Amino acid sequence: MTAAAVVTGNDARAPRATGTVALPALIFVAFALLPLLASLLAERYLLDVAARMMVFAVAAVALDLLVGYAGLISFGHAAFVGLGAYAVGILSAHGIGDALISLPVAVATSMLFAWLTGIVCLRTQGAYFIMITLAFGQMIYFIATSLALYGGDNGLTIAARSTIAGWPLLKNDYAFYYFVLLCLVATFLLCRTLVGSRFGRVLRGAKENPVRMATIGFTVRRFRLVAYVIAGGLGGFAGFLLANLTEFVSPAYMSWQQSGELIVMVILGGVGTLDGAIIGSVAYLLAEEWLSGWTENWKVIFGPMLVLVVLFARGGLIGVGARIRRRFAHG
């Protein structure tokens, strides 16, 4: 595969950029109908579980933009989520609870951090990039634990969900659920548009052969920095949603374990498939919900399951589904 072919979109072997619309549409319809099922079963907790899945799906889709299309394995992505959440919590602690203020601040804070750290991180590659993103993520984590005024290790409770132009529209659980769904759809469509554009083709070309892309005139580091900043902003967006979902912020939101879980979600669903990032988030949190009902050490069971997926389910759950469809198609 040539880098130029990826940029022009003429290579049939290029990684899937946008895919079909059927699967994402099915996922979003299922999320839209879930509140009806929750009402019929009188299980309101299903709303909280599904909303949490969608919030983490926003963060996972943003991470997949880096991992799957730019080839940048970030182990500090949770820092962006945590910064977005803390922006909401700190503003709320000072009496500012309107989303028209807190949402832009959350996104801008995460994008600024992504830009400042990205300038340094993108001077490295491979394992060095992974380690330096981990280092910056842990730096923010320890700063958050030192904020005694805002709870320190214990975290910070938010008095109420953000208002919108002064109206408490998100206070209702159903309204908040559909707001999160709308945010997930918007995030997916934004990333889908990006990876299908010339910008996305340059990212994929740089992933395959950065030297050749530089030779034909593209400033690879600049394109990667833009992708890193966009992913950081979307991580802050997820943090804004997470803070409003839990009405609580904690340093744990930006720990390296949380970054690791986001990477697992992307791998589980299928790297380089935006809808796979959503499926991976759903599968991971469903497994957590199910296995944690058996034992508090559920990760001991989930770990070997993930190893089996990596070894025998190449391409993640999306890849498994594609192979099953091909097998049935060929009889």
Q: What is the pLDDT of residues 272-319, one digit of tens each?
A: 889 999 999 999 999 888 887 787 777 788 778 777 777 777 778 887
Q: Where are the beta strands (DSSP E) in 115-213?
A: 156-157
Q: What share of the chain is helix, strand, coil (3-state, %, to 5)?
A: 75, 0, 20
Q: Which fold has domain 3-7+18-329?
A: ABC transporter involved in vitamin B12 uptake, BtuC (1.10.3470)
| Eight-class DSSP state of 249 | E
Q: Over the chain, what is the mean pLDDT?
A: 88
Q: Where are the beta strands (DSSP E) in the chain?
A: 156-157, 248-249
pLDDT for 327 beyond 80: no
| Eight-class DSSP state of 68 | I
Q: CA nearest 261: which of 46, 57, 72, 31?
A: 57
Contact 272, 70 (CB under 8 A): no
How would you label 119-143 residue by residue, b for 16+ Cβ within 10 Å and e otherwise? eebbeeeeeebbebbbebbbebbee
Where is average pLDDT lowest: 18-27, 29-38, 162-171?
Answer: 18-27
Where is average pLDDT lowest: 128-132, 158-162, 216-220, 317-321?
Answer: 317-321
CA distance 191 to 6: 18
Task: Report domain extents, the chain.
Answer: 3-7+18-329
